[in-house]
Amino acid sequence: MAKARAPVGGERMAWIAAGMVSRAHQTLAILMVTQTIGWGSSVHLVGAFAQPISDDLQLSRSVIYSAITVMYLTGSLCSPIVGRWADKFGAGFMLAAGSTVFVAALALLSSAGGMVGYLAAWFVFGVGMHLALATSSLAMLSQVAGGSTRRYLALLSLVMGLSSSISWPIAVALEASVGWRTTCLIYAAVVAGVTLPLHLYLARLGQAKTGGTTQAETLASGGTIGAQNQKGGFRLVAISMTMMAMVASVMSTMLIDIFSSLGLSRSEAAQVASLVGIAFFVSRLLEFFLGPLVRPVDMAVIGFSAVILALLPLVFWPVMSSDPITPTLAGVCALLYGVPTGLFMILRATLVLELFGSGGYGHRMGLLYRPMDVSNATAPLLFSPLLAFGGGVVVAALLVPAGLALTAILTLRRLLLREQ
């Protein structure tokens, strides 16, 4: 019997490409599941369990919500190291390690007896944050998807935009049935039994060999910015994304209070604020369909400009009118703010990929997340005192970081144009 002919030349590359596409699709499907579980069993628990944990542990709401600050500040210390390890050892192994850390954090949270135990659990969540979630998941996609990474990121973000809508009802229902402590243990079992094995499978996928190299090495690509401008370009990206993270953090935390201070009832403000989630979903659809047609830096210019325009009516309404803001105008502002902000959450990943390529992508994202995590952790604390002067004052103050973000991204765009 004649031996099967080995593929050569272009035929061999086609075989390899087919395998890569298959692995990229598997990776995307798995991350859609594990990231939904990951966010639902960590960050989203604060909102779902705030009341029962506060009642059980006799802690104030400020202490309960300070868990997010602890988590993000701890994550900011770990993110560059995690990114560097993801590039060196493979993002799949980092994801698996993060799942293990989350199991420990959930077990610690379930046994918390007071403030120290509660905040200690969120410190552990912070250690695992970039291992199990943001940095490692983005690096994993870049290591298996190559030139298609931006499209895969858009698809993953599309599902992530719905994660809170999925996780909150489940967490609330479980808490009402078995209590928040048992719910944490159930989540720990799900992470250990579902997420960890899937992440271990991803680790094997990422280490798959194609012609003597790992898939990540095969797909590594260069960026579009010149070597002489990479350091300055990255600083501009970091400034723009950190400033926009500040805006997004304050708005996500205080939007209901802002609308209430402008004259809406608490229930009306909550309903209007919920439109931002719908806008996030729409923005991810726009990125998926329009992303291939528009460069990330141009999308960032459009998006950051749109954020400023959406905030302006909230600034000028209390100045120009003594009447309460109408629910219709507030809803329009929420939608116009939500769409570009949702794009920002994708652009922070795709812009770095386009400018600097996939080589060292995990480390760069880790470096970028450090100031963004600090901003997420501290911005609500810095801006919340301004609510005493009215929601319009808070939004007016947010125009400063929004303007800095737009200035930085315009400077980056001019830098890229000069290179052409």
* Domain boundaries of the chain, sorted by first residue: 25-209, 227-419
For residue 209, what is the enclosing H or E element?
strand 209-210
Separation of alpha carbons 246 and 262, rounded Å: 21
Determine whether 75 is exposed, middle or buried from the number of CB atoms within 10 Å of its CB (0-12, 13-18, 19+). Answer: buried
Q: Which ranges of 262-384 would DSSP assign to H, the alpha helix?
A: 266-273, 275-290, 296-320, 327-356, 361-383
Tell me how far CA of residue 239 lies from CA of 245, 278, 339, in angstroms. 10, 27, 21
Task: Give me the pLDDT at residue 221, please.
Answer: 53
Task: Give me the pLDDT at residue 205, please.
Answer: 81
Report residue 325: phi and psi, to 5°.
-65, 145
Q: Which ranges of 41-162 would DSSP assign to H, the alpha helix?
A: 43-57, 61-89, 91-110, 115-132, 134-145, 149-160
Q: Do domains 25-209 and 227-419 have the same CATH topology?
A: yes
Fill in the amino acid letter for 390.
Answer: G
3-state DSSP call for residue 420? coil
**Measured distance between the N- and C-terminal CA atoms of the chain, rounded to whole angstroms:** 58
Q: pLDDT in tens for each of the 420 residues of the chain? A: 444 444 444 444 444 444 444 788 889 999 999 999 998 899 888 877 888 998 999 988 778 888 888 999 999 999 999 999 998 888 999 999 999 999 999 999 999 999 999 999 999 999 999 999 888 988 898 888 766 777 788 788 777 767 776 787 888 889 889 999 999 999 999 999 999 999 999 998 877 544 444 444 444 455 678 888 889 999 999 999 999 999 998 888 788 888 888 988 878 888 888 888 788 888 888 887 877 788 889 999 999 999 999 999 999 998 888 888 999 999 999 999 999 988 888 888 888 888 888 778 888 988 999 999 999 888 888 888 898 898 999 999 999 999 999 999 999 999 999 887
Note whether 22 and 210 are within 8 A (CB).
no
What CATH number does the domain located at 227-419 have? 1.20.1250.20
Considering the domain delimited by 25-209, tell me its CATH architecture: Up-down Bundle (1.20)
